[in-house]
Chains A and B, each alone.
Chain A
Amino acid sequence: MSFINHPSKEINCKVVYYGPGLCGKTTNLQYIFNKSSGETKGKLISLSTETDRTLFFDFLPLSVGEVRGMKTRFHLYTVPGQVFYDASRKLILRGVDGVVFVADSQLERMEANIESLENLRTNLAEHGYDLSRLPHVVQYNKRDLPNAVPVETLRQALNPGNVPDFEAVAPTGVGVFDTLKAAAKLVLTEIRKAG
């Protein structure tokens, strides 16, 4: 749910990074955090297990500048990707304005990608949202790995709506900001439409 504070001229929006376990959602946020300047970013909070697997969520507040005098800020969240954390994933989608679906390009993770996308649709529906009507983009991560599936195959399976999609190598930042910018633009465009 975007929040518009008229007196302080601020707009806050919530974007959630979703995808199967170990696909690189947290790595996306870590890269954004490391490359953003001090005054634009808040603290990166990671609620993770002792083995650095996301337990509940990662959270990064990020200011992207002003549009028509309104300070625009995105609250970026990741969900825990592991299948058994479904209850937590559902909670994090509450009030979401936009979604980045991060897919793992490796052949052996195709089934997990498809399952996670289906899980995203189901969990959004429980909040009354329809993925096809919610601003979202797709990121094909881990493009540098030798067992990466061709993008066209991933696109057919994971992007039937033909939304903006990006190839990425999250640890080195390839495609990370392109993905975020595309998602942010879709969210702001939707807020504009909502009037």
Chain B
Amino acid sequence: MAKQLAIYEEESGRIQDICNRLTADASARVVFLVDKAGQLLASAGQVQGLDMTSLGSLTAGNVVTMAGLAHLIGEAEFPNQYHEGSRESLYMSVVGGRVVLGLVFDNKTSLGLVRLRARKAVEELARVFEQLDQKAATAGPGPLADITDEDIDNLFNE
């Protein structure tokens, strides 16, 4: 089975701080973070009314597709992507090869500013995920380590 990604209180707080700060610094409408399997890890900004779960899944699908295209032309991946809409635009940046930072923004800001602020946030986030990797290597049992077969059965009998 694939390696688990676990986020703890301390790192969760730091990730959220980085996303909140980036939202303000880049004047973005929404900032979000997903892993490459499409799981939403954090979000900030005006997320009301946005289907963040679907946004996460489709962002991951897009990033891995572009990585597939990159391979075909001899690149490892396209670490940054920009999709321009008539009102809203989307900027995506790969963090440490494993998660994706996304920004939704409109014409209240500029691509240059978004790119600049995102680059700084990507560096900070990469350090947080390195710390998470170190923590995972020494972590104790996970939250499901002591569940019973009955617990799992009950999940589906409710």
Contact = CB atoms under 8 A, between A and B. Distances in A.
Contact of B12 (A7, A88, A189, A194): A7
B53 A6 contact: no
A17 B51 CA distance: 23
Nearest to B42: A5
A29 to B, nearest CB: 13
In this complex, the member of B38, B141, B145, B151 whose beta carbon has the largest number of chain A beta carbons within 10 angstroms is: B38
Given A7-B12, A11-B144, A43-B54, A95 B152 contact: no
Contacts of A151: none
B126 interface: no
- Which label, helix, strand, loop or mixed, suits the secondary structure of the B interface? mixed
Interface string B114-155: 000000000000000000000000000111111101011111
A57 interface: yes
Interface residues on B, range: 35 or more
Contacts of A134: 1
B144 A67 contact: yes
Given A14-B38, A67-B144, A181-B156, 12 more contacts: A4-B143, A42-B51, A45-B58, A65-B155, A75-B38, A91-B65, A91-B68, A96-B2, A185-B153, A192-B142, A194-B1, A195-B142
Contacts of A92: 61
Interface of B: 1-9, 12-13, 35-39, 41, 51, 53-54, 57-58, 61, 64-65, 68, 141-147, 149, 151-156, 158
A2 B37 CA distance: 9
28 contacts: A1-B2, A1-B5, A2-B1, A4-B142, A5-B7, A5-B12, A6-B8, A6-B143, A7-B13, A9-B143, A45-B54, A56-B61, A64-B155, A67-B144, A67-B154, A70-B144, A75-B38, A75-B57, A91-B61, A129-B2, A188-B144, A188-B152, A190-B1, A191-B1, A192-B142, A192-B147, A194-B4, A195-B141
